[in-house]
Homo-oligomer: A and B are copies of this chain.
Amino acid sequence: MNFLKNFLLLCLLSVAFCQQHSNTDPHILPRPLIIELPENLEPRCDSSIEDTRLRCTGWRVAVEANNLSPWKTIPEECIDYVKDYMLGRSYEIDLQTVSNEAARFARSVDLKGDGMDVWIFDIDETLLSNLPYYAEHGYGLEIFDNVQFDKWVLEGVAPTIEPSLKLYNEVLGLGFKIFLLTGRREDKRNITTSNLIEAGFRNWDRLILRANEDHGKTAVAFKSDKRKEIMEEGFRILGNSGDQWSDLIGSAVSVRSFKLSNPMYFIS
């Protein structure tokens, strides 16, 4: 009888122990797992957030496919999307995809060996990243501020875009001449050179910046004119890498052009 009493008492205790183990701390398994999941995984469970993600992806792809009219700022609803894209792995993977494709093309080309085969690289968001600047300015949500951006450029600390450095070195090794063609002005020549070297880029053949007479031109016109001059010297422009369509289109276009991802800003 004594045994039975003790048995019942301890069964109750053991059940209480099991219960308590399950419920006291909301951060201990298992109950909180069920409750907290929707919060942790919002993008899959909240349909309005998922809708925004799909619309912002559609917008970003439209940017990359050159489907949009010139735009001054990213859509307001896409600020979190653009931030996540730039800081997460998607941006890096997209850059690698394009860099790999460009390298595959570069290797497939039969170079003449006369030093006239050229690969053109843009600089900002192509070789050097201004992400630290844009992170402080809403990832493209703020209207572009020339004065503030110039201050950042003059610091000369823009980091390397690694997949582009890999492509750059491969192209250089294959025997291409490398011409850098940038919308930056001549007064940034020294800081641009030191920033590029600091970021690991070496042995380019030319660094072409906007001279005074180029200031009124759109990027498309300026870059087309410069490519035309290069071709008139007898160079063959086989590859061209840039994050803006204005780096790639217009006249005197390259045999192959490679558009690097950039959902933060648009240059005509």
A residues with CB within 8 A of B: 2-3, 6-7, 10-11, 13-15, 17-18, 21-22, 29-31, 33-34, 37, 41, 44, 54-55, 57-62, 64-69, 89-90, 93-94, 96-98, 101, 104-105, 257-259, 261
Contact = CB atoms under 8 A, between A and B. Distances in A.
B61 A261 contact: yes
A59 to B, nearest CB: 6
Given A30-B34, A34-B30, A65 B259 contact: yes
Contact of A58 (B6, B60, B65, B94): B94
Contacts of A37: 33, 37
B22 A14 contact: no
Nearest to A16: B14
Contact of A65 (B7, B11, B34, B65): B65
Contacts of A68: 101
Q: Which of A29, A34, A62, A69 has the most CB of B within 10 A?
A: A62
A65 B95 CA distance: 12
B14 A90 contact: no
Given A14-B13, A104-B69, A62 B97 contact: yes
Contacts of A94: 57-58, 61-62
A57 B64 CA distance: 12
30 contacts: A2-B2, A6-B7, A7-B10, A10-B14, A11-B14, A13-B14, A14-B14, A14-B17, A14-B18, A17-B18, A18-B21, A22-B30, A30-B30, A33-B37, A44-B44, A54-B90, A58-B90, A58-B94, A58-B96, A60-B61, A61-B64, A61-B94, A61-B97, A62-B101, A64-B65, A65-B65, A66-B257, A67-B259, A68-B101, A69-B105
A11 B15 CA distance: 11
Contacts of A30: 22, 29-31, 33-34
A122 to B, nearest CB: 15
A54 to B, nearest CB: 5
A89 B54 contact: yes
A30 B13 CA distance: 20
Given A10-B7, A29-B30, A30-B30, A55 B93 contact: yes
A247 B18 CA distance: 67
